[in-house]
Amino acid sequence: MINGKDMTQNTLAIALMILSVLLAPSCKQQSTLPESPDQGGQNNAISLFCSTNSGGTGTEVTVTVLVSKNQNEIRAFGFEMTFDPAIFQLQKIEKGLLCGDWAAVDGNEVSPGNMIVGGYMGSGTSIPPGSSGGLAQIKFKVIYSGSDDGFPRQFAIKNYSDNIAGMNPTQATATFTFRK
């Protein structure tokens, strides 16, 4: 049985999480999918969501890889990600909410602006069909210090493998605009 104090703390925590999602700015999506993890009712969809859509040198940008209503159980995943290495520097890769107890979600930059990201559940819990939420959060820092202002740059993922192979669109993108 949950007492009143625990219920109040849980309600407050949920309310704060909802407010942080609603108040957070987002990147423009370049796919036909909306910015929320629900993907507007699309099945077996994958998309990108950014913590901010513009900024200058030193701005921290978190790109979240989202799935919506996956058709298959997800026990492992992989994809390629591209970004402009003259603008962004990879900081770290973290597990998304759907992969909280997984053995690993990580990646490597294989060449400037090109990285491979993947995850596997190990002894953790698989992601059941019909789920929606984040697989990975990839954190970048804006390192560009040029005088150009207002030019957009894209993050893109493609070549999905393991249990996310066949998800749509075949390339998901999100745009960040440099502002000096």
Residue position matching structure tokens 């993947």: 118
Which pLDDT band, with edges at 50, 70 and 90, does 137 fall under?
A: very high
Whole-number Cα distances in Å, 100 to 42, 86, 107: 24, 32, 16
Residue 40 is predicted with a pLDDT of 52
Residue 78 pLDDT greater than 60, yes or no:
yes
pTM over 0.85: no
Residue 87 is predicted with a pLDDT of 94
The arithmetic mean of pLDDT across residues 65-91, rounded, is 96
Residue 154 pLDDT greater than 90, yes or no:
yes
CA distance 63 to 52: 9
The β-bridge relationship of strands 45-50 and 76-82 is unpaired
Which pLDDT band, with edges at 50, 70 and 90, does 109 fall under?
A: very high
Higher pLDDT, 129 or 1: 129
Residue 117 pLDDT greater than 60, yes or no:
yes
CA distance 150 to 54: 9
What single letter denotes the amino acid at residue 152?
P
Residue 57 pLDDT greater than 80, yes or no:
yes
CA distance 31 to 12: 34
Domain map (residue ranges) of the chain:
26-178
Check: CB of residue 75 under 8 Å from CB of residue 126. yes
Residue 83 pLDDT greater than 70, yes or no:
yes
Q: What is the mean pLDDT of the chain?
A: 82
Q: Which residues contact 9 (CB under 8 A, 6 or more apart)?
A: none
User: Which overall architecture, per CATH, does domain 26-178 show?
Assistant: Sandwich (2.60)
For residue 73, give both structure tokens: 């159980």
Per-residue pLDDT tens over the stretch 13-54: 333 333 333 333 333 333 333 334 444 557 899 999 999 999
Residue 1 is predicted with a pLDDT of 39
CA distance 177 to 152: 4
Residue 175 pLDDT greater than 70, yes or no:
yes
Residue 41 is predicted with a pLDDT of 57
